[in-house]
Amino acid sequence: DIQMTQSPSSLSASVGDRVTITCRASQGISNYLAWYQQKPGKVPELVIYAASTLQSGVPSRFSGSGSGTDFTLTISSLQPEDVATYYCQKYDSVPLTFGGGTKVEIK
């Protein structure tokens, strides 16, 4: 099965900083990649699908890129409400594996 590896596992940045999270697939998955945001104590929410398409209602400071095996989620200007753990998920074929998560905190 394809493994999904996220880096870093955690990061701390200042409000207004540009933040980049990486997700790597052990085999190519085209653009079948989603990103989720899970705020502390809350249900996960879809942020990006098809590697780069913003889910309706998500602020435009979030963007995604990549194809094949390497993907990134970027927050262009970190806001306090972006404190959360972010997960990538492949969905080219079952099992639809999640990455290990990246915890984003404010410095």
Partner 1 sequence: EVQLVQSGAEVKKPGESLKISCQGSRYSFTNYWIGWVRQVPGKGLEWMGIVWMGSSYPGGSDTRYSPSFQGQVTISGDKSISTVYLQWSSLKASDTAMYYCARAKYSTSSDDAFNIWGQGTMVTVSP
> Which residues of the shown chain bind partner 1 in the complex (CB under 8 A)?
1, 32, 34, 36, 38, 43-46, 49, 55, 85, 87, 89, 91-101
Residue pair 22/6 in contact (Cβ under 8 Å)? The answer is yes
- Residue (71 or 87) nearer to partner 1, CB: 87
Q: How far is the CB of 15 from partner 1 (least distance, A)?
A: 26
- Residue (19 or 34) nearer to partner 1, CB: 34
Q: How far is the CB of 21 from partner 1 (least distance, A)?
A: 14
Determine the Cα–Cα distance for residues 14 and 20; give it in Å rounded to an integer.
Answer: 13
Residue pair 96/56 in contact (Cβ under 8 Å)? The answer is no
Per the listing, tokens 């099992």 go with 95
- Residue (82 or 89) nearer to partner 1, CB: 89
* First and final C-alpha spacing in the chain: 37
Determine the Cα–Cα distance for residues 88 and 85; give it in Å rounded to an integer.
Answer: 10
Q: How far is the CB of 34 from partner 1 (least distance, A)?
A: 4
Q: How far is the CB of 96 from partner 1 (least distance, A)?
A: 5
